[in-house]
Amino acid sequence: MQKALEAKGIRPSYQRLKILEYLAASKEHPSVMMVYRSLSTEIPTLSRTTIYNTLNLFAEKGLVLPLPITSDEMRYDGTTTQHHHFICKECGNIFDVGMACPYSTAMEIDGHKIEEIHGHFSGTCRKCREKSGRADSSSS
């Protein structure tokens, strides 16, 4: 993790290293509050402002992808390759979707240069459907 920070010109402080480690291990696409709750017991001096500023720095340097999916909060993804997300409207979980976007390799559409691709789907995840009994035979 230290080398990843240094390669991007970021001083590898203890807090930055722990935040990056958390993001690399997390598959939940955490918010600032989720990172804070997970790390504040281990790092009592950690503040939400530090996490917010660190995540913004990481996003600026390409270490994380900010996910402006909901209007209430920003979520962050430690996987920086282009991919889509599925958001469950019931439990709020965010899942990576492995399907390829037809524009991800084109990098141009109708003469416009593509610099970023953001895509997400929303609905009810498999676990919530199973809990509510709404899973049908077509959802395997």
* Range list for CATH 1.10.10.10 in the chain: 2-76
Tell me which CATH code domain 2-76 carries: 1.10.10.10
For residue 33, give the nearest of 72, 61, 64 by alpha carbon. 72
Does domain 81-132 match CATH 3.40.50.1860? no
Question: pLDDT tens per residue, the chain (140 residues)?
Answer: 899 999 999 999 999 999 999 999 988 899 999 999 999 999 999 999 999 999 999 999 999 989 887 777 889 998 887 778 888 999 988 888 876 666 666 677 788 888 777 778 889 999 999 988 765 545 44
Q: Which residues contact 6 (CB under 8 A, 6 or more apart)?
A: 12
pLDDT value of residue 22: 96
DSSP 67: E
